[in-house]
Amino acid sequence: MTDGSPLAVAMEEEESTAMAMEVEESPSPSPSIAPRDPPKIQRLEESVVNRIAAGEVIQRPVSAVKELVENSLDADSTSISVTVKDGGLKLIQVSDDGHGIRREDLPILCERHTTSKLSKYEDLFSLSSMGFRGEALASMTYVAHVTVTTITKGQIHGHRVSYRDGVMEHEPKACAAVKGTQIMVENLFYNMIARRKTLQNSADDYGKIVDLLSRMAIHHNNVSFSCRKHGAVKADVHSVVSSSRLDSIRSVYGVSVAKSLIKVEVSSGESSGCAFDMEGFVSNSNYVAKKTILVLFINDRLVECSALKRAVEIVYAATLPKASKPFVYMSINLPREHVDINIHPTKKEVSLLNQEIMIEMIQSEVELKLRNTNDTRTFQEQKVEYIQSTLKSSKSDTPVSPLPSGQKTPKVPVRKMVRTDSSDPAGRLHAFLQPKPHNLPDTVSSLSAVRSSIRQRRNPKETADLSSVQELLSGVDSCCHPGLLETVRNCTYVGMADDVFALVQYQTHLYLANVVNLSKELMYQQTLRRFAHFNAIQLSDPAPLSELILLALQEEDLDPENNEKDHLKERIAEMNTELLMEKVEMLEEYFSVFIDSDGNLSRLPVILDQYTPDMDRVPEFLLCLGNDVEWEDEKACFQGVSAAIGNFYAMHPPLLPNPSGDGVRFYTKTSEKSSQENPALGSNVEMESVLDQDLLSDAETAWAQREWSIQHVLFPSMRLFLKPPASMASNGTFVKVASLEKLYKIFERC
């Protein structure tokens, strides 16, 4: 969201390969180093210039279809049908019932820069048509054979004419015609061998064309669209004119999509400094798909915006993780002067004022709507799954009454179910920010204590209800520090200052922010928010619990040479395993931590999309689950497990030292220098340092990945979800290092 990149239509990846192939065809300059005379500058022939330009405007078949359909829309058509042969390479035919083209305009129709939509530069700012550059048809004639058949109102017959390289191949011929225009583009890229080959080798464009028309059809619901393969009876897109957007989505994307949509709307006032209206539909939890579909129109122009797409996905990942690849249709309207449509030859990119503010407002609206539906859903599950808890307190024998979720009546508004009780300290996290020291017993007597406590922990099947989680979340809310929240929401990531601190800017201040603390807290909070609704990370090699725990115990041991304690460690590992094996159902159901019946850890939860924790920390995590979690009390247990997950997923520095600083010494091995001259001088062997390349490159990857995640996953997600606890204001998580005002004062004196 912070990259400020202009909105851009996708397809870029494939396009760039096509372009790259094109370049490769030209002879590469010889790598001679001898000085040579400056090459002569020549004027390119116009046909060469035009063909180069055409290659940019018409990048692939789907771009030609887009231009043609937009022309039809500009011509006030109410019905547009598209026929495609061989993915568009053989034939693209677009027929409409629009106003047609005048006979006298036909001679210049396909010349470059001939248009009926713009006459002076200023018109650009009040333009309501899709086209304006007068380049599309011209471009097509430079890379394909184009035939136009058209008739205007009041004419008794139409005209047909073919074009090549911008000009008519013959005088227009009179012909019978139905209302409107039909444009046929044949043998696309016949004269661009490399492009044609690349396109022939990749999957054909028909899918992209169908996708394009589906998107167009739901937005322009006053126009009927159809798209079919040449010779096919059945159309792959078939929409009818309808007055309701939802009806058109239903007819194009199907009933199941349409019935899982929620309406979203944002209308920002002028005062926000960014005037825009957005209306659209987003999918609810019933819509599960492999890929996000974002159908986005800005001022009726179909564009794509990866920043918005990512932003919406993040909201889904947090609120509806199981349905985290949504279907989204949005139409955004903003003052024409806020959009610069003229920054790209294909007009696929538009540049917007205040893109970030807009995205944030849209995110909040989507989040709000999803939360409302999600709460309802959670509530229903809660009702069904409620079973009287039989938890016992370990401290006293009096039964602890379970959290009274059963007393809730469905009539209570969902929002009110989440109470914020500032007197209830539950959920305060400072205790978890510094991991508790592991109370590892180191004598046999404490071993028996552990054993008895583990026995006590053998509870009957645990049941839990979500009200304890709601309470923990309320705790998070009530501890939130408003000033820090403001800072986190609006700060800009500058870079890593060292292994733990990131430099961030907020307004005129620079702060050092402890990413370990921040990520730990974020992961903790997200674990609570996604409680029982996690996506899962499948481990490729399930790992045995007991060995992992043993490993953690050995790593912790400050005196690893001392073998006496080995036996003890094994026993502790065994008991911890035993304990966790009793909790497998709960861990799986609520936290998506899956341990199979053989005691192998095989699945972990997704806490933030696009982020997997450092697997080197699995042993420590399991030990922490075994040792630090208060299993007897429901709320404390959920809090403990969430904190352990938070600590595990936090963005700690990788275990391998940072190779970019002094840490590089770690990767240097000293070895004997092979010296043939003095084989006899054993005592005087020269030593040389060699770098352990494999380890070094592992370390470099780990550190680079972490930095990427900090910038692209942690900070964007924090902006959305983190409620920073007040403790962070004083525990060194945020340290102000400079303020611009003060710096200016210093510089003024210089």
The distance of Cα 541 from the centroid of its chain, to the nearest Å, equals 27
- Pick between residue 143 and residue 266 the one whose CB is nearest to ligand ADP: 143
Nearest residue to the partner Mg ion, using Cβ: 131
351 binds, among Mg ion, ligand ADP, none (CB under 5 to 8 A by kind): none
- Pick between residue 185 and residue 720 the one whose CB is nearest to Mg ion: 185
716 binds, among Mg ion, ligand ADP, none (CB under 5 to 8 A by kind): none
- Pick between residue 64 and residue 472 the one whose CB is nearest to Mg ion: 64
372 binds, among Mg ion, ligand ADP, none (CB under 5 to 8 A by kind): none
Q: What token pair was written down for 392?
A: 């016992």
Least distance in Å: CB of 617 to Mg ion? 56
Q: Give the full edge-to-edge strand order of the sheet including 327-333.
A: 261-267, 277-283, 327-333, 293-298, 301-303
Q: From the list 57, 82, 137, 518, which residue makes contact with ligand ADP (rule: CB under 6 A)?
A: 137
- Pick between residue 212 and residue 257 the one whose CB is nearest to ligand ADP: 212
Residue 67 lies near ligand ADP (rule: CB under 6 A): yes
- Pick between residue 117 and residue 438 the one whose CB is nearest to ligand ADP: 117
109 binds, among ligand ADP, Mg ion, none (CB under 5 to 8 A by kind): ligand ADP
- Pick between residue 111 and residue 574 the one whose CB is nearest to ligand ADP: 111
Q: What token pair was written down for 275?
A: 């005037």
Q: From the list 57, 75, 625, 641, which residue makes contact with ligand ADP (rule: CB under 6 A)?
A: 75
Q: From the list 134, 326, 605, 725, which residue makes contact with ligand ADP (rule: CB under 6 A)?
A: 134
How many degrees, rounded to 5, is the angle at CA 229 between CA 224 and CA 233?
A: 75
Helix, coil or strand: residue 594: strand
Least distance in Å: CB of 650 to ligand ADP? 53
302: phi then psi, degrees, rounded to nearest 5? -75, 120
Sign of CA dihedral 710, 716, 719, 724: negative
- Pick between residue 99 and residue 145 the one whose CB is nearest to ligand ADP: 99
Which has the closest alpha carbon to 296: 205, 209, 208, 216?
A: 216
- Pick between residue 71 and residue 355 the one whose CB is nearest to Mg ion: 71
Residue 166 lies near ligand ADP (rule: CB under 6 A): no
Least distance in Å: CB of 181 to ligand ADP? 4
Burial zone of 80 (CB within 10 Å; 0-12 exposed, 13-18 middle, 19+ buried): buried
- Pick between residue 71 and residue 546 the one whose CB is nearest to Mg ion: 71
Q: What token pair was written down for 415?
A: 């929002």
- Pick between residue 138 and residue 548 the one whose CB is nearest to ligand ADP: 138
Choices 4-12, 110-118, 532-540, 568-576 (CB under 6 A): range interacting with ligand ADP = 110-118
Pairwise CA distance, residues 531 & 642, whole Å: 9
The secondary structure of residue 713, as a DSSP letter, is I
Q: From the list 2, 115, 242, 286, which residue makes contact with ligand ADP (rule: CB under 6 A)?
A: 115
Those residues with Cβ within 8 angstroms of residue 264's Cβ, 6 or more apart along the chain or in another chain: 278, 279, 280, 281, 282, 330, 362, 365, 366, 369
Phi-psi region of 134 (alpha: psi -120 to 50; beta: other; left: phi over 0): left
Pairwise CA distance, residues 123 & 131, whole Å: 12
- Pick between residue 129 and residue 705 the one whose CB is nearest to Mg ion: 129
Residue 132 lies near ligand ADP (rule: CB under 6 A): yes
Residue 101 lies near ligand ADP (rule: CB under 6 A): yes
Pairwise CA distance, residues 231 & 701, whole Å: 52
Q: From the list 81, 83, 93, 181, which residue makes contact with ligand ADP (rule: CB under 6 A)?
A: 181
- List C-alpha distances in Å: 197 to 334, 576, 640, 674: 41, 61, 59, 54
Least distance in Å: CB of 195 to ligand ADP? 20
Q: Give the count of beta carbons closer than 10 Å to the beta carbon of residue 586.
A: 19
Q: From the list 55, 98, 100, 131, which residue makes contact with Mg ion (rule: CB under 5 A)?
A: 131
Question: Pattern 86-125, binding to Mg ion, x per CB under 5 A?
Answer: ----------------------------------------
Least distance in Å: CB of 257 to Mg ion? 30
181 binds, among ligand ADP, Mg ion, none (CB under 5 to 8 A by kind): ligand ADP
46: phi then psi, degrees, rounded to nearest 5? -60, -35
Q: Which of residues 385-404 bind ligand ADP (CB under 6 A)?
A: none
How many degrees, rounded to 5, is the angle at CA 621 between CA 442 and CA 723?
A: 125
Helix, coil or strand: residue 92: strand
Q: What token pair was written down for 703?
A: 């550190």
Q: What is the CA radius of gyration of the chain?
A: 33
Residue 342 lies near ligand ADP (rule: CB under 6 A): no
- Pick between residue 136 and residue 370 the one whose CB is nearest to Mg ion: 136
Question: Pattern 135-164, binding to Mg ion, x per CB under 5 A?
Answer: -x----------------------------
Choices 129-137, 313-321, 571-579, 643-651 (CB under 6 A): range interacting with ligand ADP = 129-137
Spell out the long-range contacts of 370-376 with Cβ–Cβ below 8 A and sequence spacing 24 or more.
370/262, 370/282, 370/284, 370/315, 370/316, 370/319, 370/320, 371/319, 372/414, 373/262, 373/284, 373/285, 374/285, 374/319, 374/320, 375/414, 375/415, 375/417, 376/414
Which has the closest alpha carbon to 65: 216, 245, 201?
A: 216
134 binds, among ligand ADP, Mg ion, none (CB under 5 to 8 A by kind): ligand ADP
Pairwise CA distance, residues 329 & 296, whole Å: 6
- Pick between residue 181 and residue 284 the one whose CB is nearest to ligand ADP: 181
Q: From the list 87, 96, 703, 716, which residue makes contact with ligand ADP (rule: CB under 6 A)?
A: 96
301 binds, among Mg ion, ligand ADP, none (CB under 5 to 8 A by kind): none
Choices 127-135, 314-322, 372-380, 651-659 (CB under 5 A): range interacting with Mg ion = 127-135
634 binds, among Mg ion, ligand ADP, none (CB under 5 to 8 A by kind): none
Least distance in Å: CB of 590 to ligand ADP? 57
Those residues with Cβ within 8 angstroms of residue 278's Cβ, 6 or more apart along the chain or in another chain: 264, 265, 266, 267, 330, 331, 332, 333, 358, 362, 365
Phi-psi region of 612 (alpha: psi -120 to 50; beta: other; left: phi over 0): beta
Least distance in Å: CB of 657 to ligand ADP? 59
- Pick between residue 217 and residue 710 the one whose CB is nearest to ligand ADP: 217
Least distance in Å: CB of 116 to ligand ADP? 3
Q: Which of residues 616-645 bind Mg ion (CB under 5 A)?
A: none
Q: Which residues in 299-407 belong to E strands, given as ranges?
A: 301-303, 327-333, 339-340, 351-352
Q: Which of residues 28-87 bind Mg ion (CB under 5 A)?
A: 71
- DSSP assignment of 108-169: GTTSTT--SS-SSGGGGGG--SS--SS-HHHHHHHHSEEEEEEE-TT-SSEEEEEEETTEES
Q: What is the dihedral of CA 665, 671, 674, 675, to 10 degrees?
A: 90
Q: What token pair was written down for 461?
A: 């099947």
- Please give the size of the binding site for ligand ADP, defined by CB under 6 A: 22
The distance of Cα 254 from the centroid of its chain, to the nearest Å, equals 25
Strand pairing report for 509-514 and 734-739: antiparallel
Q: From the list 85, 90, 117, 457, which residue makes contact with ligand ADP (rule: CB under 6 A)?
A: 117
- Pick between residue 350 and residue 607 the one whose CB is nearest to Mg ion: 350
Pairwise CA distance, residues 646 & 433, whole Å: 9
159 binds, among ligand ADP, Mg ion, none (CB under 5 to 8 A by kind): none
Choices 69-77, 305-313, 382-390, 602-610 (CB under 6 A): range interacting with ligand ADP = 69-77
Least distance in Å: CB of 207 to ligand ADP? 24
| Residues within the interface to Mg ion (CB under 5 A) | 71, 131, 136
| Residues within the interface to ligand ADP (CB under 6 A) | 67, 71-72, 75, 96, 98-101, 109, 115-117, 131-138, 181
